[in-house]
Amino acid sequence: MLRHDEWRAREAAHQLRADALTAAHRARKQRGERHPVEDFLWTYYSVKPGELRRWHPGAAAVLEGGARDRASWKYYAVVGRSNGTRTAAGARPAGARPAGGTRSSAGAPPVADDGHGDDAIVDAAAFFAKRGGTVDYVETLLRQTLDRAPRFGCFGLHEWAMVYRMTPEQLRHTALPLRIGHAATDLVVESHLIGCTHFDAFRFFTAEAAPLNAVQPTRETQPELEQPGCLHAGMDVYKWAAKLGPIVPGEVLLDAFELARDIREVDMQASPYDVTGFVGASGAPLVPIPIEAADGKREYARRQRGFAERGNVLRLRVLEAIAEARAASAAGEAGVRSAA
């Protein structure tokens, strides 16, 4: 049970942090401005700033007095009260009902009412009933990624393969010039081993670059190929956390967003595009990482190792949230059956 003042404080801290993380994007959007580095976080990933701002405690926590504002939230259940008392609650106990339901509190000893109203809890059983397939896929993907050794020899060449033999008007980021020009960029691709393991990067390779990749990833082979050293796999931890919605604590979601943001900056710094003149989230100028040279390769691999470590910590936290949600779902189903 999270006390009312405790979870309200966590919610407020989450909202302040989310507002700070999205402030620059929201201001640019209001002015109609684009940012070729950060916009990716809002176009490729479909999470909106308002969704990022919404705090969830995870599936294991009961929010004292939470029904007052969470009764209308999707995948939440109300832990009801009767005769001025609140029933002690676990993960969707017999007294819990989906928002708008009619089941009354039952089956647990009452405790004194504190005036906050009904409690609320994530309805893990309802979430699994609707999104169980997604949870299974994410759990398998993250676990297999964790079990695989990271690879640090790709040097971000996926971004170079995405522009291989393109003309200037074909580039995705037409406002950014290629840092070393088109011919030299093509030569970098042709003179390096391309070993991209991430399907959602590989699928954007040009038709001429795709056969040059040492592996040919598909959506079906993604769980077998994903590895912690991949920058895009690290960014995708944010995507998976967001897809799991209320069963992932808000703090984990924001940590995953920050990782994705930091990776995106390095992804573009190491790309063939010239990001000179743009500023990163820290306020420091974005300096190109010239992966075509030995020093640039070393710097990229150094950053890559740090991201792999951060990504694996977050993968474990998401897997822990899934495990808690599975336990809550099982307990909730058992409670409903015993009350029937």
pLDDT of amino acid 164: 97
pLDDT of amino acid 116: 65
Calculate Rg over the CA atoms of the chain. Answer: 23
Q: Measure the CA angle with vertex 306, ends 302 and 38; round to 5°.
A: 95
**Type of residue numbered 2:** L
Query: How many whole angstroms separate alpha carbon 176 and alpha carbon 163?
Result: 12
Query: How many whole angstroms separate alpha carbon 315 and alpha carbon 138?
Result: 10
Q: Residue 127: which of 74, 68, 57 has the closest Cα?
A: 74
Alpha helices in the chain (DSSP H): 4-31, 40-43, 49-53, 67-70, 124-146, 157-161, 182-190, 199-202, 222-225, 231-243, 250-269, 294-339
pLDDT of amino acid 339: 43
Token pair of 330, please? 């099982």
> How many other C-beta atoms can be found within 10 angstroms of the C-beta atom of residue 298?
13
Q: For residue 178, how many C-alpha atoms fall within 13 Å in the half-sphere facing its CB?
A: 23
Where the chain has pLDDT below 50, the residues are 82-95, 100-112, 335-340
pLDDT of amino acid 173: 80
DSSP category for residue 76? E
